Amino acid sequence: MIKIGIVGYGNLGKGTESAILQNPDTELYGVFSRRDPETVKTLTNAKVYKMDDILNHKGKVDVLVICGGSATDLPVQTPYLAEHFNVVDSFDTHAKIPEHFANVDAAAKKGGNVALISAGWDPGMFSLNRLYAEAVLPEGKDYTFWGKGVSQGHSDAIRRIEGVVDARQYTIPVESAVEAVRNGENPELTTRQKHTRLCFVVAEENADKARIEKEIVTMPNYFADYDTTVNFITAEEMKRDHSCIPHGGMVIRSGKTGLNRENTHVIEYSLKLDSNPEFTSSVIIAYARAITRMSKEGRTGCTTVFDIAPAYLSPKSGEELRKNLL
């Protein structure tokens, strides 16, 4: 059995707890929280430990799933914990992935552990499909569209702004852009032409809403490159209208083959998700299995979804995979 520890118990932590139940070769060791363990009630009545005491559990956990936010939690937590445990995170600030990888790689190698960053669906499953499509159709263009759906990372970034009580951010594809790509037109699209961002924010009483809105729409790596609309609503409206966390999107590559490039091909991989955190955590558990295997083989350092053979994700043997899936 693969013993998994969950670091942080928000939406992703709860999704991870649920995903463990669907994988018979895994079990939940416990949850590590910055909150008072007595106040954290888990879905399965799992043991909850103080985050401050996590190093006391070295050698007892096969892999930690770190469920913090990409804005401020993961850049600190993942390198720190990778020195002491095998870890997986879902870091999704694309522009900062190389820097995050380098920091985690150094820590994991120092501690003799295996780490995997940016697991999930984008980055993650979408990243793999971009790579596959580009390798198969070297002459072409690829496009990624997200939504319509709630981005947990972007919502978390808004919630960390002073004066914000709660927030949901929806990413919305521009339909005309999607259709042009599907038609094989290979349009040149800017970031702003592909998506819009729609934000719903609950602010503290007497908060400076103009300042909050400005901080959102100018936030680098999150909103500055998009047409972003900010709506301030009440906590009751947030609970009533925005309590679910759906998402999805598609990776499309259009390319040409033939001696005269006379044939056009379109590869499309799409996801429609009722629950973004539950799907993300399901991907994470598969990769937790993979890095546990890699650790037993003596591998160390940081890795990504690009570096892991697909068979490592499955609990099935090579024989079973070749017989049933190849």
pLDDT score at 260: 97
pLDDT score at 281: 97
Structural tokens at position 141: 């263009």
Q: What is the pTM of this model?
A: 0.86
pLDDT score at 20: 98
Tell me which residue of 199, 146, 194, 140 sits closest to 168, measured CA to CA.
Answer: 199
Alpha-carbon distance of 169 to 153, in angstroms, equals 9
E strands within the chain? 2-7, 26-33, 48-50, 63-66, 87-89, 114-116, 140-146, 149-150, 164-173, 195-203, 227-232, 247-257, 263-273, 301-303
Q: In DSSP terms, which residues pair with 49 in a beta bridge?
A: 32
The answer to whether 269 and 144 are in contact (CB under 8 A) is no
pLDDT score at 71: 85
Alpha-carbon distance of 85 to 78, in angstroms, equals 10
Q: What are phi and psi of 34, to 5 degrees?
A: -75, -15
State how beta strands 2-7 and 26-33 pair: parallel
CA 263 vs CA 17, 129, 187, 226: distances in Å: 47, 21, 18, 34
One pLDDT digit (tens) per residue for the chain, 326 residues: 999 999 999 999 999 999 999 999 999 999 999 999 999 999 999 999 999 999 999 999 999 999 999 989 999 999 999 999 999 999 999 999 999 999 999 999 999 999 999 999 999 999 999 999 999 999 999 999 999 999 878 999 999 999 999 999 999 999 999 999 999 889 999 999 999 999 999 999 999 999 999 999 999 989 999 999 999 999 999 999 999 889 999 999 999 999 999 999 999 999 999 999 999 999 999 999 999 999 999 999 999 999 999 999 999 999 999 999 99
pLDDT score at 195: 96
pLDDT score at 153: 82
pLDDT score at 152: 79
Q: In DSSP terms, which residues pair with 63 in a beta bridge?
A: 4
Which residue, chain included where needed, has tokens 């994700």? Answer: 313
pLDDT score at 245: 87
What CA dihedral angle connects 30, 35, 39 and 40, to 10 degrees? -30
pLDDT score at 296: 97
